[in-house]
């Protein structure tokens, strides 16, 4: 059993931060974002090290293939190859509509899902914990405690599932959640469909429900509208008639969303307001989100909406029948309902030591349920861990501390334009 791979205090990270800056600029250039959207994205990335980290899963994946590969290995023997989330951080968990139609808290972003080692998700979530703790002003020992809580929760939940415990899916219900997570679920369950729409839609307009025009929500051109409505054809054909939308689909209005996303900021995102099956019910808001190509797989593969939907199903998160895949002008989009229940933890909810540890421990439980979505996968993961959960957690702490140093160095270099 080898010891922790922590670096001596003050030792520079194994990769020069200037290389991250060059990688980031090259990556963003290849996205071919509109100039204004690219500028906005880079402004957001300069706000904090966490913002930089969330915006660049591709850089993290590149590092795990290169200078950080050995440090990311939590045990001496290889981890199993399973479906992994790929972009696991606290911002990619939130409230969604659960299988019983009530809000739950869990995974809500599967765009970067791919085959990989569970270490990818564990190390990314642990780095997110350390960065969040540092930005909350917590000291080194409290940062380590957050990762320790994360590791203990993940491996503990994995053991429970291996022993035959029920796996409801990659989420927590209100009864099993605690602290800020439980409060968020409670608030989300109180949101009505009308309240979910009011931020974006005027329901009482002369011509019926229509999108409001704002700095972040704009009308689409006739050409774009035609392309979007053409893209809906195959999607509509896949609906089974049991959804809450009226069939054939009747789009009341279209809009383009300008300021959404983290790593996908600046890519195209459209909203469709469609009539509900019950004419007395408010309309339903559908989102078309352009997808980034998954950066975990090597060599790279193109973005594919059907693949994202498939991974969501594999993780056990397939709750909304309106989720699907479409192509617009040859580009891959995810189609989904913008659910009224959707919400994320406010940054203020992670400022205290107790709440931060609680939130990341609960996130780790969700992650274990995603990884162990079947009994067979739970058994494979349990065989990998064996009796070495403490050692794996120790190495996880070491990696998270070191990679958080790397991220902060990268962020400073990016912010300073080096």
Q: pLDDT (tens digit, 9 = 90+) per residue, 47-60?
A: 999 999 999 999 99
Residue 242 tokens read as 């049991």
116-126 burial, b for 16+ CB within 10 Å, e for fewer? bbbbbbbbbbb
Say what the pLDDT of residue 351 is. Answer: 87
Residue 3 scores a pLDDT above 70: no
Q: Which SS3 state, helix, strand or coil, does residue 369 take? A: helix
**Which H or E element spans position 243?**
none
Average pLDDT, the chain: 94
Residue 66 tokens read as 């290169």
Say what the pLDDT of residue 1 is. Answer: 33
Say what the pLDDT of residue 389 is. Answer: 98
User: 69: pLDDT confidence band, cut at 50, 70 and 90?
Assistant: very high
Residue 123 scores a pLDDT above 90: yes
Residue 406 scores a pLDDT above 60: yes
Q: pLDDT (tens digit, 9 = 90+) per residue, 184-219?
A: 999 999 999 999 999 999 998 778 899 998 999 999
Nearest-angstrom CA–CA distance, 116 and 296: 8
* Percentage of the chain exceeding pLDDT 70: 97
Say what the pLDDT of residue 347 is. Answer: 82
CA angle at 302 for the pair 299 and 307, rounded to the nearest 5° = 105
Hey, which residues does 210 pair with through a beta bridge? 202
Nearest-angstrom CA–CA distance, 90 and 237: 35
Phi and psi, residue 287, nearest 5°: -115, 135
Query: Which residue from 244, 341, 225, 336 is spatially nearest to 288, judged by alpha carbons?
Result: 336
Per-domain boundaries in the chain:
17-188+346-415, 193-337
Q: Would strands 269-274 and 251-257 be described as parallel, antiparallel, or unpaired?
A: antiparallel
**Which H or E element spans position 284?**
strand 284-290
Nearest-angstrom CA–CA distance, 172 and 326: 29
DSSP string across 146-207: HHHHHHHHHHHHHHHHHTT-----SEE-TTT--HHHHHHHHHHHT--HHHHHTTTEETT-TT
Q: pLDDT (tens digit, 9 = 90+) per residue, 253-312?
A: 999 999 888 899 999 999 999 999 998 999 999 999 999 999 999 988 999 999 999 999
Residue 8 scores a pLDDT above 90: no
């Amino acid at each position: 059993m080898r010891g922790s791979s922590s670096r001596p205090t003050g030792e520079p990270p194994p990769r020069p931060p200037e290389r991250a800056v060059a990688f980031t600029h090259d990556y963003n250039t290849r996205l071919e974002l509109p100039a204004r959207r690219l500028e906005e994205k880079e402004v957001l990335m300069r706000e904090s090290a966490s913002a930089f980290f969330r915006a660049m899963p591709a850089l993290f994946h590149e590092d795990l293939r290169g200078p950080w590969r050995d440090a990311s290995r939590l045990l001496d023997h290889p981890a199993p190859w399973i479906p992994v989330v790929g972009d696991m951080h606290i911002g990619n968990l939130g409230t969604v509509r659960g299988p019983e139609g009530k809000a739950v808290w869990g995974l809500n972003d599967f765009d970067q899902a791919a085959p990989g080692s569970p270490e990818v998700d564990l190390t990314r979530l642990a780095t997110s914990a350390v960065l969040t703790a540092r930005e909350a002003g917590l000291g080194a020992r409290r940062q380590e405690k957050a990762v320790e809580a994360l590791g203990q929760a993940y491996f503990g939940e994995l053991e429970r599932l291996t022993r035959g415990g029920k796996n409801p899916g990659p989420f927590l219900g209100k009864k099993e959640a605690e602290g800020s997570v439980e409060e968020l679920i409670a608030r989300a369950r109180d949101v009505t469909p009308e309240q979910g729409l009011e931020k974006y839609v005027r329901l009482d307009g002369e011509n019926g429900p229509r999108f409001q025009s704002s700095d972040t929500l704009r009308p689409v051109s006739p050409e774009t509208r035609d392309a979007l409505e053409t893209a809906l054809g195959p999607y509509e054909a896949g609906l089974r008639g049991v959804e809450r939308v009226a069939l054939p689909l009747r789009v009341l209005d279209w809009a383009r969303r300008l300021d959404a996303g983290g790593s996908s900021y600046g890519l195209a995102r459209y909203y469709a307001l469609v009539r509900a099956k019950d004419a007395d019910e408010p309309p339903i808001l559908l989102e078309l989100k352009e997808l980034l190509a998954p950066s975990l797989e090597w060599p790279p593969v193109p973005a594919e909406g059907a693949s994202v939907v498939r991974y969501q199903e594999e993780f056990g998160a397939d709750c909304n029948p309106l989720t699907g895949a479409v192509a617009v002008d040859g580009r891959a989009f995810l189609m989904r309902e913008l659910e009224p229940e959707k919400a994320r933890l406010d940054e203020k909810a992670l400022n205290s030591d107790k709440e931060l540890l609680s939130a990341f421990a609960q996130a780790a439980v969700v992650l274990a349920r995603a990884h162990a979505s079947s009994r067979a996968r739970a058994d494979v993961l349990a065989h990998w861990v064996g009796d070495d959960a403490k050692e794996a957690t120790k190495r996880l702490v070491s990696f998270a501390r070191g990679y958080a140093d790397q991220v902060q160095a990268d962020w400073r270099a990016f912010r300073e334009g080096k």
